[in-house]
Structure 1
Amino acid sequence: MDRTVVLITGCSSGIGLHLALRLASDPSQSFKVYATLRDLSTQGPLWEAAGSQGCPPGSLETLQLDVQDADSVAAARARVTEGRVDVLVCNAGRGLHGPLEMHSADAVGSVLDVNLVGMVQMLQAFLPDMKRRRSGRILVTGSMGGLMA
């Protein structure tokens, strides 16, 4: 039986890191997890936790991926050796802390570039193959920031 191929964006911390570990270490399922990070120099905590949780060899792989960069998205897609992604988790995100009027337009634009445009780029890269295969799932995480405004 083929393993379920999962690609998760934003795995340097938080939900992305913990989801990647949970799936890669699940003995009752057969997942191949591609945990993506904008900066691979931040992957240390992911690998430390993977070792302590007993992730089987080959169940977890890290990829450099910046959702704001179409070339980075395409390069990550090309590195998925199975040739398909069964579950895409759009988790990469950026937030702003403090009153909105205190932030520059560039800072607000950066949040939109990651949280919205980055997600759209991921969908454009992976959705066509899922539609062609008539198979796949997409999960999009959100922020509590919308509830706290």
Structure 2
Amino acid sequence: MMKENRIWLITGVSGGLGRALALEAAKNGDIVYGTLRKESQIPQFEQLVPGKTKGIRLDVTEHERIETVIAELLAAEGQVDVLVNNAGYGLFGAIEEVSMEEARQQMEVNFFGALAVTQAVLPHMRKQKSGHIIQISSMAGFRSNPGMGLYNASKFALEGFSEALALETEPLGLHVTIVEPGPFRTSWAGSSSAKAEKGIDDYQNTAGARIATVTGYSGQQPGDPDKAAKAILKAVNAEHPPLRLPLGRAALEAITSKLDAVKTNVSEWEQVSLNTNFD
């Protein structure tokens, strides 16, 4: 629900959706603390809306710093009203191509980073008996595609714990919203992505083709980050915010097509499933 002078914490505000959302919330009159991995990035962020946008140096994989950052924010403001776990990147590669090191780094940033920040903020939101946690997932957090399996896994994991979190915290006055964007015009598929070092020719027509498509339209995606930021702010301001917020036609179509496919699959094998109980 709309509340004056809210305090936001948004991870990963160097560009893209995180930057757009920080600007929109600050223009709305709220105070936004945004995390950036480099000290040199802070001055530019703080000039977005002077006095309203405040930069913090934090890499979400540095778990030992997260508690310190939250403590400093609370000492300055006394509360955290909205947490947005936005920091993350895309890893491209077929499952067999991705090394364990590459897979672990993907999970460290996209899953464990979000989990650590969420756990650090929760005690304070519980004490306030209010707060809204926004998890920036993806349509890839609901439906998989070849060439993105580990990215899918990281976002599926994010959505899994967030669903449980929503059930655990709703009676305490907290809200959780999982945002599932489709392709938006950010650097996600370009400079903010990584590709598996190993390549296997047998996957060029599946994983390789999908990766080429996604990276090929980087900078030309149909989604507008500024409009996405407005949509997220609308959810934060809602009295009854959604658990899931798909953004864009591609996301809506991907999610609804998977729901239809799952329903068909389950119906076709319903009798086999039911026949597994003791007689």
Q: TM-score, normalised by structure 2?
A: 0.46
CA distance in structure 2 between the partners assigned to 1:95 and 1:143 by the alignment: 11
Q: Shift of the alpha carbon at 1:101?
A: 2.2
Please name the residue that 1:98 is paired with.
93
Please name the residue that 1:20 is paired with.
22
CA distance in structure 2 between the partners assigned to 1:67 and 1:17 by the alignment: 16
Please name the residue that 2:40 is paired with.
41
Q: Shift of the alpha carbon at 1:75?
A: 2.1
Q: Deviations over 1:77-110 (max 9, x none)?
A: 1221102110000111122023232221111101
* Percent of aligned pairs with the same amino acid: 37
Pair 1:62 & 2:55 matched: yes
Query: What secondary structure does 1:117 align onto?
Result: helix
Q: Deviations over 1:5-37 (max 9, x none)?
A: 0000011121111111111123xxx20100111
The number of residue pairs the alignment matches comes to 140
Alpha carbons 2:67, 2:120 under 8 Å: kept:
yes
Pair 1:77 & 2:70 matched: yes
Alpha carbons 1:12, 1:42 under 8 Å: kept:
yes
1:125 to 115, 120, 130: 120
Structure-2 change in CA distance of 1:44 and 1:82 (3 Å)? closer
Pair 1:142 & 2:144 matched: no
Query: What secondary structure does 2:114 align onto?
Result: helix
Pair 1:11 & 2:13 matched: yes
Q: Shift of the alpha carbon at 1:47?
A: 5.1
Alpha carbons 2:10, 2:32 under 8 Å: kept:
yes
Give the number of the structure with larger relative contact order, counting CA–CA contacts within 8 Å between residues 6 or more apart. Answer: 1
More helix by share: 2
CA distance in structure 2 between the partners assigned to 1:41 and 1:106 by the alignment: 28
Q: Shift of the alpha carbon at 1:67?
A: 1.3
Structure-2 change in CA distance of 1:135 and 1:31 (3 Å)? same
Q: Shift of the alpha carbon at 1:66?
A: 1.6
Unaligned runs of 5+ in 1: none
- Higher Cα Rg: structure 1 or 2? 2
Q: Shift of the alpha carbon at 1:42?
A: 3.6
Structure-2 change in CA distance of 1:58 and 1:46 (3 Å)? closer
The CA RMSD measured in Å over matched residues stands at: 2.0
Alpha carbons 2:85, 2:134 under 8 Å: kept:
yes
Q: Which amino acid aligns with 1:15?
A: L
Q: Shift of the alpha carbon at 1:45?
A: 5.7
Unaligned runs of 5+ in 2: 146-279
Q: Which amino acid aligns with 2:137?
A: G
